[in-house]
Amino acid sequence: MAQGRTTHRHRGALDWRLLSLSPTTLTVALVVLAGADWGTRLAGDTLFPGGPLDELAHVLTTLLVFWALGSRARERFMLPALIASVVIDVDHIPDRFGVEWLTVGTPRPYTHSLLLILVVVALAVAWSRRRDVLLAVAIGLAIHFFRDMGEGDSGVALLWPFTDHAFQYSHGVYVAVMVAFVLIDTGLCVQRRPSSDRASSWPPHRARLKRLEKS
């Protein structure tokens, strides 16, 4: 039984390392984001492949931002924020079936607005036991809207219901901001680069074995 619990924790640690900042994960995330972003612009507003490519770009945008925010923010907020950055787009489903009650007068559904973020933050203030999760959702939504505004198509009605005006900026601004986050991530990778002795002793149980041998 104990061995089973140990194996389960070890597998969970392996899964979590896939989201940890390292030179390898940063390189893969950057290359895939560039491909997904380029593919999204080519595919346009299509269900496939445009939809999956856009969601992938949203996830990687959120991941690159959180890597730059530091380990404390990642531990508290990153996973729920990643999920929220994708789940918010379920509000597009009614429109795909010709039901426009969420999009009358706005380029994206009404839930793509600051009002939703304010509601989530208010819930976080009122519900202390789930505060971190709800704040993470709010952050994930904000990052999602940030990318949406830079996709260069129709913008986001951030101030709905007060106005239907769509806020947007050029795609070059999005690229420049992401380059800045990538530079921060690169700097963090350089600061945290392990010594050759530590690198050769990964995974951790090899390091423990070496210490036992020396003793």
Using a cut of 0.85, tell me whether the model's pTM lies above it. no
CA distances from 15 to 8, 66, 189 (A): 11, 17, 20
When pLDDT is cut at 50, 70 and 90, the band that residue 203 belongs to is: low
Bridge partners of residue 156, in order along the sequence: 167
Distance between CA atoms of 41 and 137, rounded to whole angstroms? 26
pLDDT for the residue 211: 60
pLDDT for the residue 95: 87
DSSP state of 203: S
- What does the pLDDT look like over 15-30, one tens digit per residue? 566 789 999 999 999 9
When pLDDT is cut at 50, 70 and 90, the band that residue 118 belongs to is: very high
Distance between CA atoms of 203 and 31, rounded to whole angstroms? 26
Distance between CA atoms of 108 and 92, rounded to whole angstroms? 8
Distance between CA atoms of 188 and 136, rounded to whole angstroms? 22
Residue 60 makes CB contacts below 8 A (sequence gap 6+) with 29, 32, 33, 36
When pLDDT is cut at 50, 70 and 90, the band that residue 196 belongs to is: very low
Greater model confidence, 89 or 207: 89
Nearest to 146 by CA among 121, 119, 181, 198: 181
DSSP structure string for 102-157: TTTTSSS-TTSSHHHHHHHHHHHHH-GGGHHHHHHHHHHHHHHHHHHHTSSSS-B-
- What does the pLDDT look like over 119-165, one tens digit per residue? 999 999 999 999 999 999 999 999 999 999 999 778 999 999 999 99
When pLDDT is cut at 50, 70 and 90, the band that residue 47 belongs to is: confident
Q: Tell me the domain boundaries of the chain.
A: 2-190
